[in-house]
Every structure is written in C-alpha cells, then in structure tokens.
Amino acid sequence: MSKLHAQNLSYNTKTASLLEDASFTLQQGELVVLLGPNGAGKSTLLRAALGLIKPSAGCATLNDIDVQQLSPIERARGVSYLPQIRPLAWPNNVKDVIALGRFSHGANMGNLSETDEHAVNQALDACDLEHLTHRNADTLSGGELARVHCARIFAAQAPLVIADEPVAALDPRHQFRVMDLFSEYVKRGNGALIVLHDINLAARYADRFIWMKDGKISADGPPLETLSEARLEDIYGVNSKVDGLNVTIEGAAD
C-alpha cells in the first residue's frame, strides 16, 4: 500500500510564513480534494510534501522514506505530479509529451517499449486525444493541452497522483471526463490528491476534503462532515446554501 505522509510541514521565506504545521496522509484507495482560496498555500503544501522544496520544519515520507532522500525517478515511480504551471520545454507532438510520463519507467523517447506504447495509447484514448496524437503540443487549445498533461500523468501508472488544478482550463464535459478518469484510477486501487476550485465538482468526486486557509490546514474529513455554510464563509468568505453535497454560492460575504 503506497502512502504519502506529510508531518507538521512548515515553509517560511525571509519575510513570510507560507505553510504552518500542516499534516496529511494520502494513500491508495482514496480520492482527496484539496480546497482553499487563492494564495492559501495549497501548491506550497504539495511541493513540500513531494520534496520539491525543503520545508523549514516537519518532514514528508513516501512509503516511510523521507522524500528529500528520493531521486526524481524514485519519487516519480511512487507519485505522479501534475503541477499548476506546466511549461513545455520544447514543442513536441502530443504523443511524445504523454510519453514523458514513462521516463520513470526508463522509457526511451522515440523508441518506446511495447509496455510504454500501451500505457501511452491507453492514456491518449482515455483523455479523448487520439485525433490529436501527431499535433504539435504548442498548437493545442488550453483545454486540449490540459488533457495532454492529464494523459501524461496517467501514462506514468504510479500508485499515487497529485494534480494541482487539473481541470481549470476545461469545458464542463471535459471537466467531468477528466474527473471520471481520476475516479476510475482510484477505483482501480490507486490514490489521488487533486486541487479544485469548483466545490460542487469536488463534492461529487471526493472521498475526503482537506481545507486550507492562510497556510494552515483547518479541516480534513469526508465531504458530508466538513462541508458547511459556515466553513465556506470561513475559508472563502462567501455566502452559500449547502444541502448535503449540493452547494450554491450566493456571493461574497462582505
């Protein structure tokens, strides 16, 4: 059972505390949504938990090994990470960008093994990208490119994924399609931690919510237990109506 565990992570710059005493666990078999307003510290938390930045205090482990000790390939085999900002180093075609997800398996670009080829084709198909296989990635629309990046992390076939706003640029149909893919991935026994700003979408898919504000985790639990009008006002400063898992945001609270 793969498990990413963050224990009392803090991250300070010279002038500010961006993350304070944050702990969470992600394991196989659960789809967790990380929620919080812009600037809450969600990306900082994910990067510290993955060992991409060195925390000022606390530590994170992947399967009980300190993430700071893992090589990039070891880490990528355990957790596939889709950052919020996804620069493309050069204008590869769609299939080659997705094949980058196979690097952690030793894939040889331009000469993929049968297993790599199969994983890439499966991801292409799952993300509705077959018709774009040979297009240059720098000619895609924002939504198409977002799907290519999702396909890249699915092609990696890691037991855990962390995705920072994977559906932000997608139209409603593709938002559901991509969230369905994460859901199916979790049902196959994997684990996913996903940052979303759409609370209704989050409530529809999440087994658990982690709520963040001002660099701190303020709640961690099942949607039905942690989603409330008071919570939405506290976290986002909005008035809302919450009925079970249905949320209507009525407007800014002040």
User: Half-sphere exposure (CA, 13 Å, Cβ side) for 137?
Assistant: 22
Q: With respect to ligand ATP, which residue has the nearer C-beta, 52 or 88?
A: 52
Q: With respect to ligand ATP, which residue has the nearer C-beta, 22 or 145?
A: 22
**Which residues from 62-91 bind ligand ATP, rule CB under 6 A?**
84
Is 39 a residue that touches ligand ATP (CB under 6 A)? yes
What amino acid is encoded at 181 in this protein?
Answer: L
Which residues, in sequence order, are CB contacts of 188 under 8 Å at separation 6+? none
What amino acid is encoded at 10 in this protein?
Answer: S
Select from 79, 74, 71, 104 the least CA-distant residue to 6: 79
Q: For CA atoms 110, 143, 162, 244, give the dihedral sign.
A: negative
Is 166 a residue that touches ligand ATP (CB under 6 A)? no
Identified binder of ligand ATP from the candidate list 1, 38, 90, 252, rule CB under 6 A: 38
Identified binder of ligand ATP from the candidate list 43, 104, 175, 240, rule CB under 6 A: 43
Q: With respect to ligand ATP, which residue has the nearer C-beta, 11 or 182?
A: 11
Identified binder of ligand ATP from the candidate list 33, 41, 145, 175, rule CB under 6 A: 41
Sheet arrangement for strand 65-66: 17-27, 3-12, 57-62, 65-66
Identified binder of ligand ATP from the candidate list 42, 75, 105, 174, rule CB under 6 A: 42
Q: CB burial class (10 A; 0-12, 13-18, 19+) of residue 106?
A: exposed
State the nearest-atom distance from the C-beta of 54 to ligand ATP, in Å.
Answer: 12
Is 48 a residue that touches ligand ATP (CB under 6 A)? no
For residues 92 and 158, give the distance between their C-alpha atoms in angstroms, rounded to a whole number: 23
State the nearest-atom distance from the C-beta of 46 to ligand ATP, in Å.
Answer: 8
Contact set with ligand ATP (CB under 6 A)? 13, 16, 18, 36, 38-44, 84
